[in-house]
Structure 1
Amino acid sequence: MAPRFVGMDPNTQGGGSPTVWVDSEKHELVIQGWKADEALTAEISSTAWVEGHDTGIPDHETLIRIPARMVPILRKACDDAERAGLC
């Protein structure tokens, strides 16, 4: 089963945009967003950024950015995943 579309940035002006899906098969939220720039990546990778998170960002992971106006869409995705028994 393909991931289910939940919503996209309400201020989308065309092509690609931050978007959220729920993947019931893999029990995951799938988030499309803007790539984080090198400065943000370095800041988050530093061991001082978050206490207890000193591993940096592994090569198989990345950071993405989405606008705060998408919080309601993320909440809906989380609620949908919970109702489906995925978490």
Structure 2
Amino acid sequence: MKYKNSTDGLVSVRKDYSKRVIFSLEDFNAKGYLFQTVTIPAQTKQRMHFHHKQTEVFYILEGKTVININDKEFLVKSGDAFICE
């Protein structure tokens, strides 16, 4: 078992978001996994992107936003979760 507090890990600040990697690639026994929190400031638009070989799971902690997945728009809010494959 591995334990970390959500305040552990380095914060990386980017132009339109910040992230904190809690469990890094080295913490998993398989390649390609990590667990991080991402904070997106209000009124910030994210660039469209996709990953060829990565699945992302999102859980909205607070706020609401419109997301676009496979050319479909969804209004998501606190408590919602979704998987992008």
**TM-score, normalised via structure 2 length:** 0.26
Q: Which has the higher contact order (CA 8 A, sep 6+)?
A: 1
Larger CA Rg, structure 1 vs 2: 1
Q: Which has the higher strand share?
A: 2
**TM-score, normalised via structure 1 length:** 0.26
